[in-house]
Amino acid sequence: MITYDWPDALRAQSDEWHLDYRNRSGGETITGREQVIYSGLGRWVATRSIVLFDRKGILAYRALMARLKGRANAVVVGPSIGPTAPRVQPLLFGLPYPGPNLLLPAGIKARSLGREPTLMNAAPAGANAVEIDPGTTVGLEPGVLIGFGQRLYVIEDIDGTNYQISPKLRDAVPTYSPVIWDKPRCLMRLQADDGGSADIQLDRTGSVSLSFVEVW
């Protein structure tokens, strides 16, 4: 399997990401009762809609489809999290600055003056909780999407520095690993070999809806 980056020329018009928990059930009894067992095998499923409005976008779409070769290869892509993302507060005179705007010299970002979140202790593959040092980050709360490497997780609950996450960790994560809070990404493949058919009018403009599943 070859892994490709998402082309910059393909901009999402809409994104839909959710976890397919793949739970198990023995079916309903004659009285209507049913026992559902959490399988622990949940994986990310995503649908991304894209408008192809110029030559650059159309060629990028065609090249991506050729590279993916149906479900054979993978692409690193993530949701557009927008205003739900946390924020790293800069440190001024040793104290976090809570204001939204700060006048800084060109090329310096406010987040570079703060402490970004990191993993406090190594976590093994399969773990559903991690210990995070938030640094000067605000907004790390249940419902926020974070990442480790090329894997995507959602925060379920928080107890001090203990963060319950879903799905379970795909890979072992070493101590001091950065928590990707601004642009988390996930290793995905097309849901079907014939997925990604675009409707392009007279080879000028068009649209396409791509359905992905996590490589797991």
- List per-block mean pLDDT (blocks of 10 residues) for the chain, which spans 216 residues: 95 92 80 80 93 90 95 95 86 78 75 89 96 94 96 96 96 96 95 84 80 94
Closest CA to 164 of 209, 119, 130, 206: 130
Question: Are the C-beta atoms of residues 158 and 124 closer than 8 Å to each other?
Answer: no
Q: What is the 3-state secondary structure (H, E, C) of 59-109?
A: HHHHHHHHHHCCCCCEEEECCCCHHHCCEECCEECCEECCCCCCCCCCCCC
Could you confirm whether domain 1-78+185-216 is CATH 3.30.200?
A: yes
The topology under which CATH files domain 84-182 is Elongation Factor Tu (Ef-tu); domain 3 (2.40.30)
Cα-based torsion angle of the residue sequence 122, 215, 150, 184 in order, rounded to the nearest 10 degrees: -110
Q: Residue 164's pLDDT is what?
A: 97
Q: Residue 207's pLDDT is what?
A: 86
Residue with tokens 């640094």: 135
Domain boundaries, the chain: 1-78+185-216, 84-182
